[in-house]
Amino acid sequence: VTPIIWDDKNNVLTLLDQSALPFETTYVNLKTPEEVSSAIKSMKVRGAPAIGITAAYGMVLSIISSQNFEEALSSLSKAKTILDKARPTAVNLSWATSYMLSKAKDLVDNGEARNVGELISLMKEEAKKIFDAELEAELQMGIYGLEKINDGDTVLTQCNAGGLATGTGVGTALAPVKVANALGIKVSVIAPETRPWLQGSRLTVYELMTEGIPVTLIADTAVGLVMYKNMVNSIMVGADRILSDGHVYNKIGTFKEAVIGHELGIPFYALAPVTTFDMKSRVEDVVIEERDPDEVRTVRGVPIAPEGVKVYNPVFDVTPPKYVTAIITEKGIIYPPYDKNVRKVIER
């Protein structure tokens, strides 16, 4: 899948509309920061890295018709404000807009951009660098992860940590599967639906079917049986945050896969770029976000439970290091003991 397409000739950012997936494959063409902001807000693009890349191009779009440096820098400032508001808690978003703004100032200040035309060109390159850095990190994870995949393997995943979430088409958890498939190694995926948001049934299944990679959808209740029946060779998931001692925070449901894998001797791998590591927090410090109970009381707007039932709806769970066979990053594979080895690898 190619969720983010930049048309460098016509200066148009095209996004695969993820809010309509998997029922409709539609694209939206964006020409202004306002349009980009609105696309982010309405979840047409989602996933931290994908939002970052999109925002960077949103910044580029703000200066396409600028006549001079002053106008360009003012447009960038305005665009940053507009874009940052789209998803205030998305760290990658404000990181990308800040980076692009300060880069523009540098290019002007140090004379690298000699006129506004050059500034626009160089800013396009910067946005592309963000995309390329993400893609390269994912391909690296995929290559490291290849070591853990044998021909004919089936990988159990969770949620969507694929190329839709990252914007590159590759992904984190699915990177080894993508690389293996590209190399002609046979690999298939079991995707749990991943309630309440159904990223598994909606996005992972869509992404893999589109790319011709064999995928089987299961209800979340069936994760245990597929492992018990030896239908799974390894578990590969993404991560939202990894602590220095190896605790892995990821989409709710990950922990159960890790524990069952541990019990049955199926390796469990978390795949994430080194930016995912939180070297300061301890497990006691991290608060697990809870979301709207209606996400559990309904499915796509249809009620599935009595109105007003009490609900506990945590977004993430935490998998203790005991159950994590290895953490695969773009800088290499980290094995236990994590409290020693995490630092060694991510500080490379």
Catalytic residues, by residue number, are 240
Q: Is 218 in the site for a second copy (CB under 8 A)?
A: yes
Query: Minimum distance from CB of 235 to a second copy (Å)?
Result: 13
Sheet with 316-319, strands from edge to edge, namely 277-278, 241-243, 248-251, 316-319
Residues contacting a second copy: total by CB under 8 A? 57
Query: Minimum distance from CB of 251 to a second copy (Å)?
Result: 8
Q: Is 196 in the site for a second copy (CB under 8 A)?
A: yes
Taking CB under 8 A as the criterion, the residue among 156, 173, 198, 237 binding a second copy is 198
Q: Is 194 in the site for a second copy (CB under 8 A)?
A: yes
C-alpha–C-alpha distance, residues 183 and 296, integer Å:
40
Q: What is the footprint of a second copy within residues 264-323 (CB under 8 A)?
A: 288, 296-297, 299-306, 309-314, 317-318
Taking CB under 8 A as the criterion, the residue among 182, 183, 225, 279 binding a second copy is 225
Partner residues linked to 18 by β-bridges:
none
Cα–Cα distances in angstroms (integers) from residue 91 to residues 24, 47, 95, in the given order: 29, 11, 6
> ∠ at Cα 99 (344, 70), nearest 5°?
160
In the complex with a second copy, the residue whose CB is nearer, 5 or 283, is 283
Cα–Cα distances in angstroms (integers) from residue 340 to residues 14, 32, 241, 246, 335, in the given order: 43, 47, 18, 10, 9
Phi, psi of 287 (to 5 degrees): -90, 130
Place of tokens 């769970």: 317
Q: What is the footprint of a second copy within residues 238-267 (CB under 8 A)?
A: 251-253, 255-256, 259-260, 262-263
Identity (one letter) of the amino acid at 79?
A
Q: What is the footprint of a second copy within residues 53-112 (CB under 8 A)?
A: none
Phi, psi of 342 (to 5 degrees): -60, -50
Query: Minimum distance from CB of 131 to a second copy (Å)?
Result: 27
Beta strand pairing call for 234-237 and 153-156: parallel
Kindly list the residues in this chain that would bind a second copy in the complex (CB under 8 A).
22-23, 190, 192-196, 198, 201-202, 205-206, 209, 214-226, 228, 231, 251-253, 255-256, 259-260, 262-263, 288, 296-297, 299-306, 309-314, 317-318
